[in-house]
Structure 1
Amino acid sequence: MAPKFGTSGLRGLVTELTAPLVRDYVTAFLTACPHGGAVHVGRDLRPSSPQIAGWVIDAVRAMGLTAVDCGAVPTPALALSSMAEGAAAIMVTGSHIPADRNGLKFYVPGGEILKEDEARINAALGQTPPEAPLGAAETRDAAAGYLARYTGGFAADTLAGRTVGVYQHSSVARDLMVAVVEALGGRAVPIARSDTFIPVDTEALDPDTQALFAGWFAEHALDVLISTDGDGDRPMVVDNARRVVPGDVLGTLTARHLGAGVVCTPVSSNSMVADPVFGLRVERTRIGSPFVIAAMEAARAAEPDAKVVGYEANGGFLLGFDTGALTPLMTRDCLLPILAPLAAAKAAGTTLAALIDALPPRFTAADRIAGIATERAQAFIADLTENSAARAAFFTGCGAEVALDLTDGLRVTFEGGAVLHLRPSGNAPEFRCYAEADSRETAATLVTRTLASLRARLG
C-alpha cells in the first residue's frame, strides 16, 4: 500500500518511503502550509527514522528554511518546542505500527494539521521547489521544555510514596517518563528496555504483553505501571489492581481533574463521559486527532472562555485552555493523562483503582486484526451498512439492534445497551473492533467473539 494520509499523518512501508517521496511531501507541506521560516524535526526510535529525518532536514533546507534538528524526542515535546517558537514541525514516526513501516506527522506553527491542510498538501505534490539559498541547520533539546512543563505543572510531591514502574520498551519517551516520576517525588523502576523496536499499541495491548504486568507488580512492589506508544503521544497506565486503564477513562479523569467544561472526543470513546455526574458538554467526532482538534477549535470559537479539552480512546489528551499551571497544547499528549489521574487520586486520599471503581459502570474493550487489506475491510463494512439482514446475521447473539451510528465506521447499539463498533484503519492494514457494555467481562467477550467472526469471514 503506497504511503498516504490516515488518522495520524502520512504512513507507509519503509521501502516505499523513499528520499524522493519524502522530499516531495515535505516540499508540498512547506508550499501549502504556514511554517514561520523554520521547521523543527524529531523522530522516534525505529531503525529507519534517522535516515528519513535526514531526508526531511535536507528538504527543509533546500526550501531555504531553517531546519532545527531535535533528535529522538516524543511527538508532544516536538510540538511544544515548535509552537513556542512559532515554527512548523515534522515528526518522523510510525507510532505503534511495526518497524517495517514509518511515517510523517506535520505541524503548522499553531499545532497539528487538519484534514483541509492534508488536502492542500496532496494538491501541492509533484511541484518543483523554487530555487533558494540553502537554509540554516540548528539543533534543539526539545525534551527539556517538555519535562519542565510537567515538573512545573504538578506539585513536587504528586507521586511521593509511590513506586512507579516504567515499561520502557522502545518508546522515545522512556527516559523522560523516568525523569518526571523522580522529579515529582516517586520512585521510578525502569522495566524491559529494548534496543529492538517493539510496536506497542496502547489501545490494543496483546495478551503476551499484558501477562507480563502482574509479574512486574509482584517483583518490584509497584503501585502503578506506566508507558507510552512508540512516539510518546498515547499513554498506558496499569492501576494498583493490575488492570490496564482504558485511554478514554484516563481522559475522563483528566478532564474532571482539570476542571474542563467541554470535551471533544471521538464516537469510539466511552460514553460514560456524558454522564451528568461530570457536568461536561460532550462533542462527538470522527476518529483521529485532526477531527478532535477541529471540534475543539469550533467550541473555542463559539465560546472563547470555554474550558475545552479533547482526547481519543487511545488516551492521547489535548489541552485547549490555560489551567493556570499548564498552557494549552493542541496535540495528543501522553504525560498529562498519566499524571492528572494520579494527582486526582492523591488529592482524594485514595488509590487510582479506587478512583476508577467509583466511576459510572460503563466499560469498553478494543482489539484489532492485522493483515486485513483496507479495501477489503471497507467493502465488508459497506455491505453491513447497507444490509440490515447481513448485520443481524453477523451480530447474532447480540440482541436486537436499536441504533446505528455511521460517524466513523459502523457502530451498532443493541437492546440492553451493549455497543459494537467496527472500523478499518485509515493508514494500516488493520481492522479494529470496539465494544462497550455495563461490565468489563461483557465488553471483552463482545470484542473476542466479534474478532473471531471477522477472522472467519475475512481470513
Structure 2
Amino acid sequence: MDLSAIVKAYDIRGVVGDGLDETVVRDLGAALARLLRAEDAGTAAVVVGHDMRASSPGLVDAFADGVTGQGLDVVSIGLASTDMLYFASGTLGLPGAMFTASHNPAHYNGIKLCRAGATPIGDDTGLRSIREAVEAGVPAGPGGGVRSRQELLAGYAAYLHGLVDLSGARPLRVVVDAGNGMGGYTVPAVFGDLPFEVVPLYFELDGTFPNHEANPLDPANLVDLQKRVLAEGADVGLAFDGDADRCFVVDERGEPVSPSAITALVAVRELAKAPGSAIIHNLITSRAVPEIVAEHGGRPVRTRVGHSFIKQQMAESDAVFGGEHSAHYYFRDFWRADSGMLAALHVLAALAESDGPLSALMERYDRYPASGEINSTVTDVPGRIAAVRAAYADRPGVRIDLLDGLTVDLPDGSWFNLRPSNTEPLLRLNVEAPDRASLAALRDAVLAIVRG
C-alpha cells in the first residue's frame, strides 16, 4: 500500500474512496497510537474533532477503532473548527486529530494531527513514520481503549474572550460569511455575548458547499460578502474557510484587507502586551510587516511558508505572534497554534477602539502595492526558476536568497518570490513594489521568463 498520494508534508488529505477510506483511516489511527505510546508510555488518550463533511463521522469512527484497538482512549469533541481542536489539545493536554479537508471540495477529507499542547505532527516529526507503519502493516494491539465525549464549544469561546478584551467595545455591524463551513458553528458561540450585530451569511453547515467554495483566498469567493457589507452598511466583513482556522477581512467599502496588514495590526497589539517580543512573518508577507514590528520595538523574524516552520520558529524565539500571507495567524497564548477566530477578535477590538472606519484604521499598516499570488503551470519547474535567477543575478544592487524558493530584492525596494508548489507543476509568484507602475513592470518581466 502506497500512501504517498494522501500523506502530505503537513497533514493527510485526499479524495474519499480514492486512497482515503475507512480501512486506511483505521490503520492511521492505530499507527498514530503506537507512535504516541512509543514516545511516551504515559499517553492515555487522543482527542478528536471533525468538520461538517458528510464523510467525517464515518472516518472518525474508523480512526477511533484504530486508536482504541491499540489501547488508547478517544475523547471526541464532535463538530469543531480546527482551532477548537487545538484548544482541546491544549487544555486537555492530549494529542489530537482533526478531520477536515479545509477549503478543498466536498469529495475530499483529511486529518490534521498534533501532539499534546497542539504541537504539529508533520512529515519529519512523525507523519512519515505513521505512513511507513501503515504501508508495512500495523500489528494488532491489545485493545481496551474506550471512547468518551466532551463538549468544549463554550469553553473555547470563553478562552478566546479571555485573550481579547471586548467588554467596552462600541457596537459594530459585522457581516460574517461562514461559507457553509465550521464558522457557522463557532461564530454564534464566540460572538453571542459581544456588542456586535452579526449578519450571518451561509451559516448552514453543509459540506457540499452549495453557495461557493470555502476558500476566501480566491477573490471570487469574497464577492457575496463584499456585496452584503455594502448592502448592510456594515462596519466590517469576515470570511472563514471550511475549517475556520483562517479568517479574511473586508472593510466597510467592500475592499479586501491584506492579510499582511492584519498581521501588522495584530503584531502591534500583541507587542503592547509583551514589549520587545519576537514576531514571526513568512517571507511572502509585505515588507511593511517587519518595518512596523521594528518601529514598535519588536523583533521581526522571517521564516519559510508553512505552519510547521512558523511554529518551530515561534518556539525557538518565544515569539508572541506570527502571521502568514495566506491569513494563518499564530498566537503564543493559543499554544502557538493558528486561530482565524482569535485574529478576527483582534481586528474587531482595534476597530471598536478607533473612531473611524476600518479603511482608515488599516491605512497605517498597508504601505506597498502587492500582486497577490500568481500561479503559472510549467513543465520544467527547476529550469524556470534557474532562468529567472540568471536574469537577475548579475544586476547591481540585487540581493538573492533561497530560504524558500527564489527571493529577489531590487535596489528600488521592489522584491519578488518565486516558489514551486509542493503538489502540482506550478510556480507561485508574489511581487511587491513601492508603486503600482513598478509592481506591474516587475510582475510582467518575471512572468515573461516563467511562461516563456
Aligned to 2:289: 273
Q: Distance in 2 between matches of 1:368 and 1:13?
A: 26
Indicate the SS of the match to 1:366.
Answer: coil
Question: What is the letter of the counterpart of residue 49 of structure 1?
Answer: S
Aligned to 2:144: 134
Question: What is the letter of the counterpart of residue 319 of structure 1?
Answer: F
Q: CA RMSD in A?
A: 3.0
Question: What is the letter of the counterpart of residue 61 of structure 1?
Answer: T
Aligned to 1:416: 412
Aligned to 2:306: 288
Question: For 1:18, which of 8, 16, 21 is the aligned residue?
Answer: 21
Displacement after TM superposition at 1:140 (Å) = 1.9
**Judging changes above 3 Å, is the alpha-carbon distance between structure 1 residues 170 and 27 closer, same or farther for their aligned structure 2 residues?**
same
Answering whether residue 181 of structure 2 is matched by residue 184 of structure 1, we say no
Task: For structure 2, list consecutive stretches of 5 or more residues without a partner in the other structure.
Answer: none
Q: TM-score, normalised by structure 1?
A: 0.84
Listed one character per residue, the Cα deviations across residues 271-315 of structure 1 (whole Å, up to 9, x for unaligned) are 212113232212222111111111111113xxxxxx522222222
Question: For 1:341, which of 347, 355, 365 is the aligned residue?
Answer: 347
**Judging changes above 3 Å, is the alpha-carbon distance between structure 1 residues 27 and 349 closer, same or farther for their aligned structure 2 residues?**
same
> Is the contact made by 1:81 and 1:145 (CA closer than 8 Å) also made in structure 2?
no
Question: For 1:113, which of 112, 121, 129 is the aligned residue?
Answer: 121
Question: What is the letter of the counterpart of residue 58 of structure 2?
Answer: Q
Question: What is the letter of the counterpart of residue 10 of structure 1?
Answer: I
Displacement after TM superposition at 1:348 (Å) = 3.9
The 5 Å alignment of 1:58-207 reads 58-111=65-118, 112-114=120-122, 115-125=124-134, 126-157=136-167, 159-193=169-203, 195=206, 196-197=208-209, 198-202=212-216, 204-206=217-219
Q: TM-score, normalised by structure 2?
A: 0.85
Answering whether residue 28 of structure 2 is matched by residue 29 of structure 1, we say no
> Is the contact made by 1:22 and 1:55 (CA closer than 8 Å) also made in structure 2?
yes
Task: For structure 1, list consecutive stretches of 5 or more residues without a partner in the other structure.
Answer: 301-306, 321-326, 394-398
Bigger Cα displacement from structure 2, 222-231 vs 341-350: 341-350
> Is the contact made by 1:151 and 1:183 (CA closer than 8 Å) also made in structure 2?
no
Displacement after TM superposition at 1:188 (Å) = 0.3
Question: What is the letter of the counterpart of residue 178 of structure 1?
Answer: P
**Judging changes above 3 Å, is the alpha-carbon distance between structure 1 residues 59 and 453 closer, same or farther for their aligned structure 2 residues?**
farther
Answering whether residue 239 of structure 2 is matched by residue 217 of structure 1, we say no
**Judging changes above 3 Å, is the alpha-carbon distance between structure 1 residues 148 and 128 closer, same or farther for their aligned structure 2 residues?**
same
Aligned length: 430
Moved segments of 4+, more than 6 Å: 444-453
Q: Distance in 1 between matches of 2:151 and 2:436?
A: 42
Q: Distance in 2 between matches of 1:440 and 1:216?
A: 29
Indicate the SS of the match to 2:65.
Answer: helix
Aligned to 1:9: 11
Listed one character per residue, the Cα deviations across residues 162-219 of structure 1 (whole Å, up to 9, x for unaligned) are 10001121221223223433422100000134633243333x323x333334421222
> Is the contact made by 1:342 and 1:352 (CA closer than 8 Å) also made in structure 2?
no
